[in-house]
Structure 1
Amino acid sequence: MDLTEATWTDVSELETDLAVLPVGSTEQHGPHAPLGTDVLTARAVADAGVERVDREVVRAPAIPVGIAEEHRQFPGTMWVSPETFRRYVRESIESLAYHGFDRVVVVNGHGGNVDALREVGGRLSRDGTAYAVPFTWFEAVGDHSAEMGHGGPLETALVRHCEPDLVREDRIDEAKAGAADGWGEWVSHANLAYDSAEFTENGVVGDPSDGTERRGEELLELAGDALARLLEAVAERNVPRPDDR
């Protein structure tokens, strides 16, 4: 059930404790892909995972702004501090738990959110408020994960598949020409760069021309299947914390 479209009386009739919370970012994804790429892909994967499980799952509204200050030089990018983001996600999950939806999978579409989401999930789970587990879709697509980049082949492919009208096809060559090969400037296993504008001319990392619609379909299958397996595991897992040793 999608909370955005449901009434409170619809929700009162549910007999489930399982929810998904899509989380993304509103940030640059090169000249060809929309600022909402991370939200659109997180939502699409959340829906694909829910469709694959034979149980009721509550779908919460997506959180559209994340930890993205590293893209601040590109117009349209929005961000909040890590502290604000953690608090917002935590309180969103607390509100779900208040109504009995206290097993929550956070479906994430933005790399900058990963560490904060793991911290929030751990805190909520340890204090007994909710069992919250973050899932980042591009880490769950097999060999494709190695080509993640930014506005590169994976994100371009998934948007082409899910929201084809939002990809500026006439700018793919431009996006490819100004892209970096990898994320950051690395010396002795340390990244010298803090902002993406330091190492990519137009915000792109990786070759978006490799992000075909057919590849996007495969990515959605892989991510949806992985999320469905996780939802089943979260629904069935014995949640109480271990005793002291």
Structure 2
Amino acid sequence: MYMVDYTSDDFKTNLSKAEVAIVPIGSVEAHGHHLPLGTDIFSPRLFCKMINDKISDEIWIAPEIPYGQSYDLSIYPGTIHIPTEVMSSYVFFVGKSLYDNGIKKLVFLNGHGGNANALNLASEKLMQMGMDIIIINWWLDFSKEILTITEGQGHAGEDESSAILYYNKSLVQMDKALKNDKKPLMRVYFKDRGRILYENALSGDATKATFEKGEKIFEVLTEKIIELIHNFIAGNYYSEENK
């Protein structure tokens, strides 16, 4: 159920159907020379559509948050960077307002790695109010599944480029797709990280991307996300080994 399609009265009437909401979160950021600036918005958007097609009566879909923390790629044209401390505060108040409106559980469906710290900080504050939150970083949490479909992963790499080809292939300029084999040896922060590690605003091998791989990624991961959401709704947060 897309929240923005409902009147205030109808939202209140239908709130009893679901007390869980998804907030899709992305970024406006350079993705190589071949992918659109909205890449990190489009993947969560399509996941939400596919989830809504399957379980629309079980979950609310809140409006997407399009901007994110994109310091590393801010050297490239078109990137919009929101500092972590600012973004975490904004996300917190979005979540708090949803909680005040009767949403008791929240799914942050994240499309951009730079948002991770902000989402963690916001979630820590929201849970202290009594809200339950899960953060889904689709390319990271389901890396094992993705790597059964693609040979590799990366920022604007094979997996992400395939995803956007499936989302809307007219937005992708595959003739400009490149390869960047640089892989960090550690989680290191330094001022010119974006220019050096993400040369040409990408990592991995975008030239291997295909529409078919993107289709498979969305099919497989949508089912995995729905399974996770069902466990979240049911309160199945952990398992216990037999003693």
Q: Do both proteins adopt the same fold according to a TM-score greater than 0.5, normalized to the shorter chain?
A: yes
Query: Which residue among 79, 102, 108 is the counterpart of 2:110?
Result: 108
C-alpha contact (below 8 Å) 1:28/1:203 kept by paired residues: yes
* 1:83-120 per-position Cα deviation (integer Å, ceiling 9, x unaligned): 11111111111111111112111100111112331232
C-alpha contact (below 8 Å) 1:141/1:223 kept by paired residues: no
Q: Secondary structure at the match of 1:158?
A: helix
C-alpha contact (below 8 Å) 2:22/2:109 kept by paired residues: yes
1:54 Cα deviation (Å)? 6.8
2:101 paired residue number: 99
C-alpha separation in 2, matches of 1:12 and 1:143: 38
Matches within 5 A, 1:4-153: 4-14=4-14, 15=16, 16-53=18-55, 55-128=57-130, 130-139=131-140, 140-144=142-146, 147-153=152-158
Q: 1:218 to 1:73 in 2, by over 3 A?
A: same
* 1:5-37 per-position Cα deviation (integer Å, ceiling 9, x unaligned): 332232122122011000011100011001110
**What is the RMSD of the two structures over their aligned residues, measured on CA atoms?**
2.0
Matches within 5 A, 1:152-191: 152-172=157-177, 176=178, 179-184=179-184, 186=185, 189=186, 191=188
1:215 paired residue number: 213
1:242 paired residue number: none
Q: TM-score, normalised by structure 1?
A: 0.86
Q: 1:97 to 1:29 in 2, by over 3 A?
A: same
Q: Secondary structure at the match of 1:191?
A: coil
Q: TM-score, normalised by structure 2?
A: 0.87
**1:48 aligned partner, one-letter code:** M
- Unpaired runs of 5+ in structure 1? 240-245
C-alpha separation in 2, matches of 1:17 and 1:113: 24
Q: Secondary structure at the match of 2:33?
A: coil
**2:169 aligned partner, one-letter code:** P
2:240 paired residue number: none
Q: After the TM superposition, which of the residue ranges 9-18 and 145-154 deviates more from structure 2? A: 145-154
C-alpha separation in 2, matches of 1:236 and 1:126: 20
**1:82 aligned partner, one-letter code:** T
2:241 paired residue number: none
1:192 Cα deviation (Å)? 6.1
Q: 1:7 to 1:183 in 2, by over 3 A?
A: farther
Q: After the TM superposition, which of the residue ranges 29-38 and 225-234 deviates more from structure 2? A: 225-234
C-alpha contact (below 8 Å) 2:152/2:205 kept by paired residues: no
Equivalenced residues, count: 230
C-alpha separation in 2, matches of 1:90 and 1:127: 11
1:53 Cα deviation (Å)? 3.1
C-alpha contact (below 8 Å) 1:17/1:100 kept by paired residues: yes
1:196 paired residue number: 194
1:217 Cα deviation (Å)? 0.7
C-alpha separation in 2, matches of 1:190 and 1:141: 18
C-alpha separation in 2, matches of 1:151 and 1:10: 40
1:231 Cα deviation (Å)? 1.1
Q: 1:123 to 1:41 in 2, by over 3 A?
A: same
Q: 1:32 to 1:124 in 2, by over 3 A?
A: same
**Structure with larger RCO (C-alpha < 8 A, sep 6+):** 1
C-alpha separation in 2, matches of 1:3 and 1:89: 17
Q: Secondary structure at the match of 1:126?
A: helix
**2:25 aligned partner, one-letter code:** V
